[in-house]
């Protein structure tokens, strides 16, 4: 496979991995600052993560073999590229295929998306884009100059001060181009209507369920890895280091975490992220909350934690849960049916006939 294609695929894979890890916090922050999360904005955040991964893979990879390392030169001559481009123009008449011209354009274009992201996602203008572009480019150049901060005895790629200038120019141009994006679609500033209730759609309910599944998967993964690492560090006997104990911890931890969150708040992590809550019903509060857990993410986690062929039952339960979102009023699904509660926007005033308000958990 071509090296450039391989690095591009690596950037996409790493960006998607980062998006998976940051998915729940991103959803939660968007609902609190903007009142919701559109699919287009989610794609922009994913593109930002892929872009940053691409910056590092294309500028720092592949790492050379230390045994065959050849120290690279440095260029600290400001505007040396202007002479090179002048020579290229005389030589090729402005042909974009000329290496010098193409390199200049690529250095500029590489940082145009950064300027766009700074304005559209960050809500900041040209000055901030200039400093961000200079800072990111400088970090890359210094990483190259220092041999990945001492990993190699010398620079393995050329440190070029002109790259700082052209990269920064690209970020500024991207910021200017993003002025074409309507103002209402720019920035993460808190919207004035962020705390106003919004319709409870089935898509929003499914997003809450997805947040629960993604969050639980991450908690399970981290718990298992941390436990196994602790066993290895403590020199546990071989019978405990085979991964079985870590598997049990990985399965039980998200069940315990989600059960505690639901019993304390009445809402799952996904409900908290997308500002939903279950309310009403005639059942005692503790029982209703337990049934809300057991009829949703709780059953899903327990089925997948069981050994043997229970995974199939878990997938079947997940499918049934999705179907019930579409066939029950307001998308309350199995949790709402079992707890006899209705699903509402968490920003709506509490019904005076409902139990006392639960503990509110704020995502920062």
More confident residue, 268 or 50: 268
Rounded to 5 degrees, what are φ and ψ at 156? -105, -5
More confident residue, 191 or 43: 43
User: For the chain, how many residues are written?
Assistant: 364
- Mean pLDDT is lowest, of 155-164, 202-211, 212-221, 318-327, for 155-164
pLDDT tier at 10, thresholds 50, 70, 90 = low
Residue 330, Ramachandran bin (φ over 0: left; ψ between -120 and 50: alpha; else beta): left
Tell me how far apart the alpha carbons of residues 10 and 63 are, in angstroms, rounded to a whole number.
14
Helix (H) or strand (E) holding 159: strand 159-160
Tell me how far apart the alpha carbons of residues 205 and 201 are, in angstroms, rounded to a whole number.
6
The pLDDT of 101-113, averaged and rounded, is 83
pLDDT tier at 359, thresholds 50, 70, 90 = very low
Tell me how far apart the alpha carbons of residues 56 and 255 are, in angstroms, rounded to a whole number.
37
**Under a CB-based contact definition with an 8 Å cutoff, are residues 53 and 15 in contact?**
yes
The pLDDT of 145-159, averaged and rounded, is 77
- Mean pLDDT is lowest, of 4-18, 186-200, 308-322, for 4-18
pLDDT tier at 73, thresholds 50, 70, 90 = confident
Would you state the pLDDT for residue 70?
A: 76
Measured on CA atoms in the order 121, 127, 128, 133, is the torsion positive or negative?
A: positive
The two structure tokens encoding residue 268: 């799952």
Question: Helix crossing, 112-120 with 161-177: angle to 10°?
Answer: 40
pTM for this model (two decimals): 0.71
With a cut of 70, say whether residue 276 has pLDDT above it. Answer: yes
Would you state the pLDDT for residue 357?
A: 44
Tens of pLDDT, residue by residue over 166-224, are: 899 999 999 999 888 887 777 666 677 778 888 889 999 999 999 999 999 999 988 98
In degrees to the nearest 10, what's the CA dihedral of 105, 107, 109, 111?
A: -160
**Under a CB-based contact definition with an 8 Å cutoff, are residues 28 and 272 in contact?**
yes
DSSP tag of 329: G
Would you state the pLDDT for residue 363?
A: 41
What residue ranges do the domains of the chain occupy? Answer: 1-62, 66-196, 202-345
Closest CA to 117 of 189, 44, 190: 44
With a cut of 70, say whether residue 237 has pLDDT above it. Answer: no
């Amino acid at each position: 496979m071509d090296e450039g294609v391989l690095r591009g695929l690596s950037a996409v894979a790493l960006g998607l991995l980062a998006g998976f890890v940051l998915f729940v916090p991103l959803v939660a922050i968007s609902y609190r600052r903007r009142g919701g999360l559109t699919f287009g904005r989610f794609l922009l955040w994913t593109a930002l993560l892929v872009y940053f991964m691409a910056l590092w893979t294309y500028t720092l990879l592949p790492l050379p073999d230390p045994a065959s390392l050849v120290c690279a030169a440095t260029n600290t001559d400001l505007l040396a590229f202007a002479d090179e481009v002048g020579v290229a123009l005389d030589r090729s008449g402005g042909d974009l295929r000329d290496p010098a011209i193409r390199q200049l354009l690529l250095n500029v274009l590489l940082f145009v998306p950064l300027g766009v992201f700074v304005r559209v996602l960050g809500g900041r203008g040209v000055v901030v884009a200039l400093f961000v572009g200079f800072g990111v480019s400088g970090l890359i150049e210094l990483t190259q100059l220092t041999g990945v901060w001492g990993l190699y005895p010398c620079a393995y790629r050329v440190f070029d001060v002109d790259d700082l200038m052209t990269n920064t120019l690209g970020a500024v141009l991207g910021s200017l181009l993003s002025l074409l994006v309507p103002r209402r679609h720019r920035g993460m500033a808190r919207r004035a209507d962020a705390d106003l209730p919004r319709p409870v759609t089935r898509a929003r309910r499914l997003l809450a369920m997805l947040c629960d599944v993604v969050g639980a998967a991450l908690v399970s993964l981290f718990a298992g890895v941390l436990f196994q690492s602790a066993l290895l560090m403590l020199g546990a006997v071989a019978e405990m280091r085979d991964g079985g104990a870590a598997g049990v911890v990985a399965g039980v931890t998200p069940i315990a975490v989600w059960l505690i969150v639901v019993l304390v708040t009445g809402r799952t992590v996904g409900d908290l992220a997308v500002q939903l809550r279950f309310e009403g019903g005639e059942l005692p509060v503790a029982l209703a909350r337990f049934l809300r857990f057991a009829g949703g993410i709780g059953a899903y986690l327990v089925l997948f934690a069981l050994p043997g062929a229970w995974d199939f039952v878990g997938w079947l339960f997940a499918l049934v849960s999705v179907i019930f979102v579409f066939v029950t009023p307001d998308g309350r699904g199995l949790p709402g049916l079992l707890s006899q509660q209705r699903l509402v926007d968490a920003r709506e005033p509490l019904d005076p006939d409902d139990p006392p308000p639960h503990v509110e958990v704020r995502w920062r």
